[in-house]
Structure 1
């Protein structure tokens, strides 16, 4: 594992980093991200969100979502996640300061503090409703032993005793936005995402292909509630925590790994936002063996180092795509 230097370095000459950060925050609070992204791709309103085809990978079905009230965009296809600064950096291939200067000197649409506050209040109320739904479904779930979810995990080579944050339930995969009615219930592995206090504030629903857990294949993975900042905590925190992208990888590392606690933030792009208790000092990112995965892991490591944590990497064997693939191929 290669450790990353966690020091952030000093300023450039007499450049006032604190003043620059305040200027960046002010810009982000004044410019809705849809106004920036909308110049690069076609966005269509979807409730309080905007959706369009991702500018960072080729796709026909829109998977790029922009939420002005939360000041970020996210692609459910390639995993890109970021604010207006990161969008310009990645879109135009420039540095952080260059991206800020381009945005600050541009004639961009702005919203008033009142408009922003209203949008954020509405967003928070909606998120609280989603959290309540997530907690309801999680509480209705049952322990995994003897359930289709246990069958699914065994088909993936996972045999360890599942922690209480994993449950099985009959749960809908969709909801009618106009009527609020949920669709038909399907069997699913329910993963509870805990916030900084340890309370479940979101879930990820893993539905089985053709509703058959014995295939060991997922039909889809859908999140509900507040996922950013939370994580599936497969074990209590320690001085060092292993971060994995998905539950199957996390359980695979728990089963054959180094004996450290493993957390799953449901995506590499979500890793920098995880709320850790003060005891955590080191973070080991258990990445996946593909170009996109390695790039995402490096970005996450830099962001975690900026928070004062000490990140390092761990990778499955070169012949394996991910940790669960390696587990089924002969062990870690």
Structure 2
């Protein structure tokens, strides 16, 4: 009996652990994913194929922005995206047909391959160097932020972390972080960015400065916030919520709130200390976050960026991505234009308190 495309994709996904290495033999397993450099089979990490869980068979190439299901992967790697011969080949591979499978269509080799391999190797070495520098910066920072400019800065933004009983372990104070814009070292709040598997992949820096009235704020810079290292798919794990457990072992049915920035996330933690809070660092990274299957409910705590179509599309993309994973998704945006939830906390406006406003 001939299966339709959806059924073939499901059956291929059930055997993705064998299929992915066959289609991408130069890849390697990294946690729950098969990683490769591209659909051409180059070594690297930008192409990820999910091997386990409800999303098994789903893949995405972060460099080319291509993505799809297991059947799409067969089509992309063997038949230049043509699904019809990919379906015939898949039936043969699954043992559903005795007919000869169509011959794969060779993908054009990268040109020049030596140059591409050298460039990929250099990019990988550069990423490793930046990751090492990010971890070194984090290790040099002061654990705990009590009675430091970090605590003063957050408190002056209306975020009194002492109300939570403890400060997030993902935040530290560093008295002298080099700033290229000023060509000098300056005090900074540093935050650990964890990758999908919990490893420290990058460090977020917020340079701080003291105002004439003695309060602390972001330093007067063109870019007072920057990230050292690559953080795609990673996040700052700000608050563990009621369970107190690490994200990787979150209890079944847990609700997670995803914010863009640190200050927004901390303001939400103060309002909803029973929720797990993650900061995605950038609005475009929200949709790329990987959550354990036990997280069934996601709230996107977005900023009110006013008439900003790009920001709105990014929020909608995040909502759509988590909904497609079978999770309940809610979107919460402050009613005050050009405000985030930290601004709301500072204003203590009850009429615009944090609440998921629409699905």
Q: How far apart are 1:172 and its partner, in Å?
A: 1.0
Structure having the higher Rg: 2
Q: How far apart are 1:187 and its partner, in Å?
A: 0.3
CA–CA distance in structure 2, aligned partners of residues 123 and 202 of structure 1: 16
- Equivalent pair of 2:206/2:218 in contact (CA under 8 Å): no
Q: How far apart are 1:288 and its partner, in Å?
A: 1.2
* Structure 1: unaligned runs, 5 residues or longer: 1-10, 31-67, 72-81, 87-99, 102-107, 176-181
Matched, 1:221 2:222: no
> Partner of 2:105 in structure 1?
none
Matched, 1:165 2:165: no
> Partner of 1:147 in structure 2?
148
CA–CA distance in structure 2, aligned partners of residues 313 and 294 of structure 1: 11
Q: How far apart are 1:129 and its partner, in Å?
A: 1.3
CA–CA distance in structure 2, aligned partners of residues 326 and 235 of structure 1: 19
- Equivalent pair of 2:187/2:208 in contact (CA under 8 Å): yes
Q: How far apart are 1:185 and its partner, in Å?
A: 1.6
SS in structure 1 at match of 2:215: helix
> Partner of 1:275 in structure 2?
290
1:94-133 aligned at under 5 Å gives the runs 110-111=110-111, 115-133=115-133
- Equivalent pair of 2:155/2:161 in contact (CA under 8 Å): no
1:144-293 aligned at under 5 Å gives the runs 144-161=145-162, 162-169=167-174, 170-174=176-180, 183-209=183-209, 214-218=215-219, 219=221, 220-236=224-240, 237=247, 238=250, 239-257=254-272, 259-290=274-305, 291=308, 292-293=310-311
Q: Deviations over 1:144-200 (max 9, x none)?
A: 11111111111111101421110000211239xxxxxx9532100001111233232
TM, length-normalised to structure 1: 0.63
1:308-327 aligned at under 5 Å gives the runs 308-319=326-337, 321-327=339-345
> Partner of 2:134 in structure 1?
134
CA–CA distance in structure 2, aligned partners of residues 257 and 139 of structure 1: 30
* Structure 2: unaligned runs, 5 residues or longer: 13-22, 24-34, 48-61, 67-80, 83-107, 241-246, 354-359
- Equivalent pair of 1:70/1:120 in contact (CA under 8 Å): no
Q: How far apart are 1:260 and its partner, in Å?
A: 0.5
Higher relative contact order (CA 8 A, sep 6+): 1
- Equivalent pair of 1:232/1:265 in contact (CA under 8 Å): yes
Specify whether residues 126 and 262 from structure 1 end up closer, same or farther in structure 2 by C-alpha distance, changes over 3 A only: same
CA–CA distance in structure 2, aligned partners of residues 214 and 227 of structure 1: 31
Q: Deviations over 1:252-273 (max 9, x none)?
A: 1111136211001201111222
Q: How far apart are 1:304 and its partner, in Å?
A: 2.9
**Superposition RMSD on alpha carbons, in Å?**
4.3
TM, length-normalised to structure 2: 0.59
> Partner of 2:55 in structure 1?
none
Q: How far apart are 1:16 and its partner, in Å?
A: 7.6
SS in structure 1 at match of 2:239: coil
SS in structure 1 at match of 2:133: helix
- Equivalent pair of 1:173/1:222 in contact (CA under 8 Å): no
> Partner of 1:94 in structure 2?
none
